[in-house]
Structure 1
């Protein structure tokens, strides 16, 4: 993919799609996509295996899911939303896929373009108490 065809929106959409498909595994196994309560009540361990090819590691308000096709690290929103993103999460997602997102392996480029998206109202804060952003036209996914 040439840098000309790389856009922040593609990176964001790919990140959200991977979180969406990854957390479906949780829903099938545990009956919920937000497994933090299960960890806090000791129903599951902080780190574990969901299926043969899927591992998870819970941290603070987020989770890292490792699949055979790659991994994704995300934070849950205040109401369990899974469609939020920030500079750090997008940067790490891109760095794990440098052949697809070469341009976004530079954190400063993500910071600059996210700022532009905020100014253009393409993205907005998930909530007043969250550091996560969502696409301005997105529906809540939880």
Structure 2
């Protein structure tokens, strides 16, 4: 039985951990975590296999990695960063895990809590030209 998580920061950390897992698989297969350039230069197909039980699907500035039992959809950020997220990506991630993130399968609740994180400065824009957010740097570390 899955444990319910009602904290948006748990959702974000879980999402980022899954992106790390996915991009490490990409790096092992293709030599880089960001495979967009390979696709755009016709070195790889838009969709394909990473391993026997993992596939990738590139889109716009991002990638969906389908693992054996779940998927993660992320965008590559400024300077090939992979630690970015937005409310939409978190919502899709929660929908794929309703037993764990039931609360965040309600888009309005997720968006409210996401906006609360922005107001409390716990998350910040990755860059001025990016629509992604990152966890705010801890000024005390």
Q: Structure 1: how far apart are the matches of 2:43 and 2:54?
A: 18
Residue equivalent to 2:110: 110
Q: Structure 2: how far apart are the matches of 1:93 and 1:115?
A: 17
Residue equivalent to 1:19: 19
Residue equivalent to 2:94: 94
Q: Structure 2: how far apart are the matches of 1:79 and 1:48?
A: 24
State how 1:27-106 maps to structure 2 within 5 Å.
27-106=27-106
Structure 1's consecutive aligned runs of 4 or more residues displaced over 4 angstroms after TM superposition are none
Number of equivalenced pairs: 136
Which consecutive unaligned segments of at least 5 residues does structure 2 have? none
Aligned-pair CA distance for 1:137: 2.5
Q: Structure 1: how far apart are the matches of 2:131 and 2:113?
A: 17
Aligned-pair CA distance for 1:79: 1.1
Q: Structure 1: how far apart are the matches of 2:137 and 2:108?
A: 25
Q: Could you report, residue by residue, the CA deviation over 1:22-53 in whole angstroms, capped at 9, with x for unpaired residues?
A: 11001111110000000011110000011101
Which consecutive unaligned segments of at least 5 residues does structure 1 have? none
When normalised by structure 2's length, the TM-score is 0.93
Q: Structure 2: how far apart are the matches of 1:33 and 1:48?
A: 15
CA RMSD of aligned residues (A): 1.1
Residue equivalent to 2:119: 119
